[in-house]
Amino acid sequence: MPKLEIANENRYGHRNIVEVPHWDRWDTRMPDVKDQLRAIDLYNKSGAVSKSDFVRARILGEHFKVITVDKSAVEYYRKLSELTAQVHKIGTNYNQVIRLMHLYTAEKSVRALLQELIQL
């Protein structure tokens, strides 16, 4: 049986040796195809790094996240991002036009042009 050394808190430099069981490998079988498909589906949804991590978390009762992707929501977010980018571009262009108007025209004509722009 393998041994694990644990540092003793009471004595500096002294280590206690504790025997621990050493199980590297566990094999399981799922003869039912439905169980296999369900396990594979849960693994894919969990977002676990490896199958070992997924099985270990399930055996030890740790919580895991189920990641689902809603394709309609993805399309919605993409279109919303495009709209936000376009609004940002319009705002940038508007600010540039106003700055140039203030630089090269008189105050009264700037106000008149802004009123026309607002009415559009």
pLDDT at 6 over 60: no
Question: Is pLDDT at 36 greater than 80 in this prediction?
Answer: yes
Query: What's the first-to-final CA gap in the chain, in angstroms?
Result: 84
Predicted confidence (pLDDT) per residue in 73-95, tens digit: 888 999 999 999 999 998 898 88
Q: Treating both helix axes as pointing N-terminal to C-terminal, what angle do 33-46 and 51-59 enclose, rounded to 10 degrees?
A: 100
Name which residue leads in pLDDT, 117 or 7.
117
Q: Can you give the pLDDT at residue 19?
A: 64
Sorted by sequence, the CB contacts under 8 Å of residue 87 that are 6+ apart come out as: none
pTM assigned to the model: 0.38
Q: What is the pLDDT of residues 44-59, one digit of tens each?
A: 888 788 888 888 888 8
Helix/strand/coil for 21: coil
